[in-house]
Structure 1
Amino acid sequence: MNKTEAWIHAFRLRTLPLALSSIFLGSFLAFAAHSFSLKIFILATLTTLFLQILSNLANDLGDSISGADNQERVGPERAVQSGLISKKEMKGMLIVFVLLSFSSGLWLLYEGMQLINLNQGIIMLVIGLLAIGAAINYTVGKNPYGYSGFGDLFVFLFFGLTGVLGTYFLHTGNLSGSLFLPAISLGLLSVGVLNLNNMRDVENDAKTGKITLVVKMGSSNAKRYHFALLTIAMILPFLYTIFNWVSVFQLLFLLSFPFIVRNIMRVFANKNPRDLDPELKRLALSTLLFSLTFGLGLVL
């Protein structure tokens, strides 16, 4: 594997569809409200891509430094741990993606300022800076939150509430209470993906001191937690649809449910945590499918 291939591998492109799900859903909701901006959509997409790659690179570096990435780890090979990319090179690339994320986010905020006031703009700027910090501090720093069981909370906040509601707000300049329902739903599905990752890695994480929620609660309770996450995520879209009923097309999101239910069944049937790796991709794609079908149902 040459250096270019190593960097592409380190970017972990398979994680990007899940990250973009919130941007797609927030933009569909804005389009349905007759307030869609192509510039906002493109810039939000770019900013999210940069933030996700930043998070992936930081995770690669942080897990290598802590020892969480080792020969016993399941999943894709990590660039720093394998020696394909040095720690110095990875730190340099982190700086590049911090600058890309900040620049793109600042441009996004500039475009959104047409519909929001200065105070709201400052709040959005702070949220953007927190997103950059969260992308890095998941596994990097003196007290990475991913090592103390807070990863689920941050994924919920940034992949769900911030991603969906923030995108909608920049498109429209306003928010309504019912929008929290699909945003929470997407956040819970995203947490489900992280929970699968942590269930897969539970043995190695426990050995290396990475105290995820799964390590704290144990695999059996993690399965029940997974069931709760995905079940609530499937209930909330019905509530939103009831409160905002227009046409039968709004039930299009039901097409994603068989895949989500199948994921729950496979998790409960699982005996070997290492065999959960394929389920990460399946649930991530199911989440993207939910985002697209829910959104399309609003605009058809």
Structure 2
Amino acid sequence: MALNIKAWIISFRLRTLPLALSGIFMGSILAAEAGSFKWPVFIWALLTALFLQILSNLANDYGDALSGADNEERQGPRRMIQGGVITLKQMKRAVIVTATLALISGMVLIFVSLKGRQLAALAFFILGLLTITAAIRYTVGRNPYGYRGFGDFYVFLFFGLMGVGGTFFLHAGMWEWPVLLPASAVGFFSTGVLNLNNIRDIESDKKSGKKTLPVMMGRKPAAFYHLSLLVMGWIAFILWLIIFHDGNVGVWLPLIVLPVFVLNAISAFRFGAPSSKLDSQLRNLSLGTLFLVIFYGTGSLFIIC
């Protein structure tokens, strides 16, 4: 598994990691606003999220290689199994190792945040197992849900609601319903990254039988769907700012990254451009989401201090 370090780094898909960071950062910032931030929770939540994201990426490579979705007609970056650099056996072993690391890290996270609260700890342990299973089952197994158009729902759920809301709960030890607004914003933007990825791969996915939403709805409707995801994300986020931060000018700092989202939405409507041109927009949307969260935290925590 360590024969080619560069190949493994490529397989980890480092450019997708900002999305994993975004949910943890947002949940932790919300906890800090509530006076409940805890460094051990933040560190272990961050580590667990990174393991889960890498697990998802490796399992995706493994599943797509088995199904034939990764082939010569695919427009995105060349996968390491597809190029013969990493074998299926090596990738399967990497999936098992990463899943184990995610499980161990998640158990430590539960221990440091919910020690003495057995029911809540059990609930989060079950959620953790479901998250690991979902990361693997996206493209692996007899009926992977990513091949039936359900990937978007799970990304919204795990990156948005669970990523942000779960992190907040682990810090604060309680739930507050308004957290759903910023959690939904991160969820919508994360789903947008997946949708843009699926738009890029629409032709190869059609031929391999991978039924993503862009494959089922068509290229043009997929572009409008992408626009709706970004718009709904910003609506949720701005509602959060208006309702719960009235008069706090600093929290509007994230508007700096709005042009990144506008250009990203426009890119989905360039129907005549090669699909490979969307690669840079995947990175831009992922980083744009992360910087939106960072700028929000900067403005919010400045006010608190």
In 2: Cα distance, 1:265 partner to 1:7 partner = 33
The answer to whether structure 1 residue 268 and structure 2 residue 285 are counterparts is no
Deviating more after overlay: 143-152 vs 116-125:
116-125
In 2: Cα distance, 1:180 partner to 1:51 partner = 22
What pairs with 1:135-174 in structure 2 (closer than 5 Å)? 135-174=135-174
In structure 1, the residue corresponding to 2:143 is in which secondary structure?
A: coil
The answer to whether structure 1 residue 20 and structure 2 residue 29 are counterparts is no
Q: Which runs of 5+ in 2 are unaligned?
A: none
Match of 2:236 in 1: 236
What is the Cα deviation at residue 270 of structure 1?
Answer: 3.8
In 2: Cα distance, 1:55 partner to 1:187 partner = 16
What pairs with 1:92-107 in structure 2 (closer than 5 Å)? 92-107=93-108
Deviations 1:187-238 (A, max 9, x none): 0000000010000000110010000000000011011111111011111122
RMSD over aligned Cα atoms: 1.4
Give the fraction of aligned pairs with identical amino acids, expressed as a percent. Answer: 49
Number of aligned residue pairs: 299
What pairs with 1:202-281 in structure 2 (closer than 5 Å)? 202-245=202-245, 247-272=248-273, 273-281=275-283
In 1: Cα distance, 2:105 partner to 2:215 partner = 36
Deviating more after overlay: 157-166 vs 256-265:
256-265
Q: When the two structures are superposed, what TM-score results if normalisation uses the length of structure 1? A: 0.96
The answer to whether structure 1 residue 191 and structure 2 residue 191 are counterparts is yes
In structure 1, the residue corresponding to 2:286 is in which secondary structure?
A: helix
Match of 1:133 in 2: 133
What pairs with 1:20-39 in structure 2 (closer than 5 Å)? 20-39=21-40
In 2: Cα distance, 1:30 partner to 1:212 partner = 35
Q: Which runs of 5+ in 1 are unaligned?
A: none
Q: When the two structures are superposed, what TM-score results if normalisation uses the length of structure 2? A: 0.95
What is the Cα deviation at residue 20 of structure 1?
Answer: 1.1
In 1: Cα distance, 2:39 partner to 2:271 partner = 43
Amino acid at match of 1:202: I
Amino acid at match of 1:159: F
> In 2, are the aligned partners of 1:188 and 1:229 still within 8 Å (CA)?
yes
What is the Cα deviation at residue 168 of structure 1?
Answer: 0.5
In 2: Cα distance, 1:227 partner to 1:175 partner = 31
Deviations 1:236-270 (A, max 9, x none): 12211122125111111211211111111222234
What is the Cα deviation at residue 16 of structure 1?
Answer: 0.7
Match of 1:45 in 2: 46
In 2: Cα distance, 1:173 partner to 1:159 partner = 20
In 1: Cα distance, 2:92 partner to 2:268 partner = 36
In 1: Cα distance, 2:6 partner to 2:277 partner = 26
Deviations 1:63-112 (A, max 9, x none): 00100001111112111121111111111111111110000000000011
> In 2, are the aligned partners of 1:29 and 1:298 still within 8 Å (CA)?
no
Deviating more after overlay: 132-141 vs 239-248:
239-248
Amino acid at match of 1:151: G
* Residues 37 and 212 of structure 1: CA distance in aligned 2, closer, same or farther (over 3 Å): same
The answer to whether structure 1 residue 298 and structure 2 residue 294 are counterparts is no
> In 2, are the aligned partners of 1:63 and 1:69 still within 8 Å (CA)?
yes
Amino acid at match of 1:42: I
> In 2, are the aligned partners of 1:28 and 1:296 still within 8 Å (CA)?
no
Match of 1:179 in 2: 179
What is the Cα deviation at residue 275 of structure 1?
Answer: 2.0
